[in-house]
Copies of this chain bind each other. A is one copy, B any other.
Amino acid sequence: MSKLVGAALLGQSGGPTSVINASAAGVFIEALGQENITNVYGAIHGIKGILNEDFYDIGQEDMDELLRLKNTPSSAIGSVRFKLKDPNVDSSEYERLLEVFQKYNIRYFFYNGGNDSMDTCNKISKFFKDHDFECRVIGVPKTIDNDLNVTDHSPGYGSAAKYVATSLMELYHDATVYDTKMITVVEIMGRNAGWLTAASALAQSKGQGPDLIYLPELPFDLDDFYTQVLDVLNTKGKVIVAVSEGIKTKEGKYIPEIYTDLKRDAFGHAQLGGTAQVLAQELERRTNVKVRAIEFSLLQRSAAHLASKVDVEEAFNAGKEAVKAAISGKTDFMVGFKRLSSKPYQMEYVLIPLDEAANTEQKVPLEWILPHGKGMTQEYIDYALPLIQGDCKAELEDGLPRFAKLKKVRVTKK
């Protein structure tokens, strides 16, 4: 193994999670302790920050505050939604990245994101190799959607799942308080994969959750849905429905789209609103029962106060493992999780070639999804439960979370 001496850079990409800062903390703290790493930088808003030579000098930060990142939601260094151009069509962005990496002698590059991001760092790494610039590139997974391939799960999922299950249990208690008929429709994130909506089955398994659960992996039929809701309504008088924002008809239309069509037919104009709201309006029209639409919205990905301890520690360790792997000479891998056992939960960190992790989507296995909105099988429950264990949150200051306060010293442009 060659001894490679230079700076380390972390960038983050895509929608944040409760624990993406925990991974940043893992990368930063591990990198600061490595003698081959001369400087530790955080790219401000991911790839954009690199293109603009816009970095934080993490060496200037206090260790206490870096540790507080473990319990601080979202991305302290900033994230970005930015797709690099195809280098075969236009390589100018890649040339610029190479120029910046050379100028700052960045020899360790860590990129924390979802499958798009793994594709990005894969392409960057290949470009650097083709131009004989030695730089070790390791991806760190991140997504509440849990849709990254090959790895058993991804940091961010466990905490978001815990939020979804806990909040649904609480809503269950709230929704059953009156003796009047009521339907509650809760919308959960996940455009293509239903992992997060599936977490509502954890509340259901406690008898304090949704009656009906709809994932985007199965086609959604509005009339079947209505029949299923009515069945529960007639039996129990209360219905709680958990729907993924991404449910689609067998023709591939999202719910707000079909409703727009319905409404267009009836009144000649389009209707705004998310999936839950549209379903709520339609149910209210059909049942004459009070229907409430609730969106967990950004809360489900930022509620660090309800983070899973397992998730926080794994996110932190994934960051550390990425640095250790790079220092040991590895490149072009993503840190992944391999489950050895669920009861008791045993997991080991593994390195997954970026090629395998990039650009593919891991959906919920169809055999784990019960038909007719009935929920999830025990296999899913056994899979998910270990990921939501334990509490881990910021200490309180004045009764409110004391989140990390970084100095955010910018690196002087060269």
Residues of chain A having any CB pair with chain B under 8 Å: 15-16, 44-45, 48, 72-76, 78-81, 162, 165-167, 169-171, 173-179, 184, 202-203, 206, 208, 267, 269, 271-273, 281, 292, 294-295, 297-299, 301-306, 308, 385, 388-391, 396, 398-401, 403
Contacts and interface: CB of A to CB of B under 8 A. Distances in A.
Contact of A299 (B48, B171, B305): B171
Given A165-B400, A206-B398, A388-B399, 11 more contacts: A16-B173, A80-B178, A169-B400, A170-B302, A170-B304, A170-B305, A175-B298, A206-B400, A294-B295, A294-B299, A299-B299
A385 B399 contact: yes
Contacts of A202: 398, 400
B206 A173 contact: no
Report copies per complex. 2
Contacts of A292: 297-298
Contacts of A297: 292, 294-295
Contact of A403 (B74, B208, B304): B208
Which of A44, A174, A388 has the largest number of chain B CB atoms within 10 A? A174
Nearest to A390: B399
Nearest to A170: B302
Which of A272, A400, A403 has the largest number of chain B CB atoms within 10 A? A400
- Which 9 A-B pairs rank lowest in CB-CB distance, beginning with the nearest? A74-B173, A174-B302, A388-B399, A170-B302, A389-B399, A74-B174, A45-B179, A79-B177, A294-B297
A216 to B, nearest CB: 21
Given A295-B295, A303-B167, A178 B81 contact: yes
Nearest to A18: B170
B174 A73 contact: yes
A80 B179 contact: yes
A173 B269 CA distance: 37
A272 B269 contact: no
Which of A73, A170, A295 has the largest number of chain B CB atoms within 10 A? A170
Contact of A79 (B48, B76, B81, B178): B178
Contacts of A80: 178-179
A335 to B, nearest CB: 22
A17 B44 CA distance: 41
Contact of A16 (B16, B174, B273, B388): B174
A302 B400 contact: no
A399 B16 contact: no
A325 to B, nearest CB: 26
A78 B299 contact: no
A256 B172 CA distance: 28
A173 B72 contact: yes
Contacts of A74: 170, 173-174, 176-177
A305 B175 contact: no
Contacts of A294: 295, 297-299
22 contacts: A48-B179, A74-B170, A74-B173, A78-B177, A79-B178, A81-B178, A169-B401, A170-B299, A170-B304, A171-B302, A173-B302, A173-B403, A174-B301, A175-B298, A206-B398, A206-B400, A308-B399, A385-B398, A388-B399, A389-B396, A389-B399, A390-B399
